[in-house]
A and B are shown apart, each in its own frame.
Chain A
Amino acid sequence: EAGVAQSPRYKIIEKRQSVAFWCNPISGHATLYWYQQILGQGPKLLIQFQNNGVVDDSQLPKDRFSAERLKGVDSTLKIQPAKLEDSAVYLCASSPPGTDTQYFGPGTRLTVL
């Protein structure tokens, strides 16, 4: 079974630029999560999707971050414009219906200069 795929793995941009990350969850997993992991901290939820609907985006900085999950499969997370404090690893996770186990992708490491 293929795992959660993310791309790119690494991205370096300058502040005020825009960037997008892509996630392909495990086939059949209805729930998709985006987490932000700042160096030295645990992951923090940004947004949770159930199929193509948003379940929780209370911690998403909506003035600069946006996310979508068209057709309930792949998802993209965008930052526009980026700030220095957005430097972090962005982790995508998915889980099958009715379970509590989340499967994580390898993450995208973003560096904002």
Chain B
Amino acid sequence: AQSVTQLGSHVSVSEGALVLLRCNYSSSVPPYLFWYVQYPNQGLQLLLKYTTGATLVKGINGFEAEFKKSETSFHLTKPSAHMSDAAEYFCAVSDGNQAGTALIFGKGTTLSVSS
């Protein structure tokens, strides 16, 4: 069975500050890991994903995440927050042995950015 825990349902940062959104996963099979962003009244947009290979993954809008197997973590970071980053962020996991399996999502973290 697989599961995802996102620590902190709300994170608030100032514009220009570091963004750190935490994600821990549980998986009995090699995981594929994803971060999605959801703006109000919109669907989910893929930020980045880890499948195999390099453990530091770069995504869109300056975000990156590092897969740490020993810590079962996949935290999302961005060096400098912009007002436009305010949204809800979801971490998700799928079965790395079977392409195309459904995603299992965390409960999400709402990011607020103040000026």
Contacts and interface: CB of A to CB of B under 8 A. Distances in A.
Interface in A78-113: 91, 93, 95, 97-107
Given A101-B49, A104-B45, A40 B107 contact: yes
Interface size range on B against A: 20 to 34
Given A40-B107, A95-B100, A106 B45 contact: no
B94 interface: yes
Interface stretch (B36-44, B61-69, B70-78): B36-44
16 contacts: A4-B43, A33-B102, A41-B108, A42-B4, A42-B92, A48-B102, A100-B34, A100-B94, A100-B99, A101-B46, A101-B49, A102-B46, A104-B43, A105-B43, A106-B41, A106-B43
Interface of A: 4, 31, 33, 40-45, 48, 50, 56, 91, 93, 95, 97-107
